[in-house]
Amino acid sequence: MSSIEHLQKTFSHSTRWPNEKVTMAGAIKDVEGEIARFNARKSFTYAVLSLDGTKELGCVYISPSRKEGNDAAVRLWVTKAEFDTGLQPVVLDEVKAWLTKSWPFKNVLYPN
């Protein structure tokens, strides 16, 4: 919630999410949906955490691509504070390396 305006401009391109009206109950419902899709192997959501695991710095989403020729699509965000330190391209590079090494995808659609 510390980066609402930043995420609306750089990730969702919408004022629908995130917004000031997001409640803990609503956030829990979103996470439950992400867990259900993960367990069903339909899409995968991963939190980007600080090295000590105490702070969420961002999130990575891996899902089927809607664009023909790509078998997966990656979306990600980092908080405004982490964006300003240059973390987003670091996360993107790490995700690319991880997917290339450990996932069966041939053509992945990445942001930008």
In the chain the domains, ranked by start, together with CATH numbers, are 4-109 (3.40.630)
Mean pLDDT value of segment 80-102: 97
Mean pLDDT, the chain, integer: 92
The pLDDT of residue 112: 75
Predicted structure pTM score? 0.88
108-109 and 56-63 strand pairing:
unpaired
Report the percent of the chain where pLDDT is more than 70.
100
Strands (E), 1-112: 44-49, 56-63, 72-78, 108-109
